Amino acid sequence: MRVTMEDVAREAGVSRALVSLALRDAYGVSDSTRDRILDVAERLNYQRNALASGLARRTTNTLGVFLLDLHNELFADIYDGIRDVATAAGTELVLSVGSTGGTLDKPGLDALVRAQVEVVVAAGLLLSDKELAPYRELTHLVSVARRVPGADNVVSNNELGAKLAVSHLLEIGHRRILHLAAPSSDGYRGRRRAFSRTMKAAGLQPQILVSDYSRADAARVLGPVLDSTDLPTAVFAHNDQTALGVLDALHSRDIPVPEQMSVIGYDNTSASRPPGIALTTVDLHGEELGRRAAEIALARMDSPDAPPMEETFKPTLVIRGTTAPPAA
């Protein structure tokens, strides 16, 4: 159920007109009353423009897009796919961008709900499943690269992708493999699970280190490991950005890649492809994910009451120049 202005007024013990004034920061409302109304509105997860007073919800033919981070080129690839489909269909896009720490997920989604977009395509959400549940009551959600219960989902098989990466390292002779993992959160545990499972199946002990999604934090977190005497011979990073951070840390210590250490990323973004980097990585086909998500979003506009839709893509391993057999 959508929370209305009347619900806020009833909970705060004031009139609907006073709620309207407070939400518009209009003259005539005391600071204490305004604060109480805003606190109630936030607690009820009221979205200011979710309903127009006395009017049915209008059809806007507008698609909302939430991207976690513009510094990660995976999200640019996903956006390209969304844009191509939306443009061909004559659908307008409203964009909101978050941050690698996830602190802007909620404000970003709130802004799209207030814009009254018909569907939100969201790539890289870090809110928990529980935190996302209310948004499925406020708008239709198509989640990209992360499975959200009850939403439409377009995902890549992360467990298969991680298995491809680790199996490649095992096949060329590596036994001391470190996984630079993302923080454990809803929807993003598949790569870590597959890493551990594949290592244990080979009779090896999984070694896991956690960084956030940024290049700089990956280099920082990996530093103490590289300064120790017991070095891994390979690092499997949870995305290309963090793999670039691994390369930064290795370069600063004059550790040659792949002669002394192999590195594998994940995403196959354009940042992984230049000859000077030539990163071995897992391609989750970001642009195709975005294209299919937009197609599902358009179908959702036409059939808002249809059952949730889901599609899973198969990732592929792209072998370039940052992996080789370990030094003798």
212-250 pLDDT, tens digit per residue, is 988 999 999 999 999 998 899 999 999 999 999 999 999
DSSP 8-state class, residue 172? T
- At 70, list the tokens: 């513009």
Nearest to 120 by CA among 157, 69, 67, 78: 67
Q: Where in the chain is the domain with CATH 3.40.50.2300?
A: 62-155+286-311, 158-284
pLDDT at 199 over 60: yes
How do residues 18-38 score in pLDDT, each as one tens digit? Answer: 776 677 665 557 888 888 988
Domain over 62-155+286-311 is classified CATH 3.40.50.300:
no
Q: How far apart are CA 9 and CA 19, in angstroms?
A: 6
The pLDDT of residue 326: 96
Task: Say if CB 213 and CB 100 are below 8 A apart.
Answer: yes
Can you give the pLDDT at residue 30?
80
SS3 213: coil
If you average pLDDT over residues 181-190, what whole number do you get? 93
Q: Are 69 and 95 in contact (CB under 8 A)?
A: no
Report pLDDT digits (tens) over 35-67. Answer: 898 899 888 888 754 333 333 334 458 899 999
Domain 158-284 in CATH 3.40.50.2300: yes
Phi, psi of 284 (to 5 degrees): -95, 5
- Output the average pLDDT for the chain: 90
Sheet holding 92-97, edge to edge: 92-97, 62-67, 119-123, 140-144, 152-156, 310-313
Please determine, for residue 73, whether its predicted confidence score (pLDDT) is greater than 80: yes
Residue at 45: amino acid letter = N
- The reply to whether the predicted model has a pTM over 0.85 is no
- pLDDT of 93-152, one tens digit each? 999 999 888 889 999 999 999 888 989 999 999 999 999 999 988 999 999 999 999 999
Looking up tokens 């005539």 gives 28
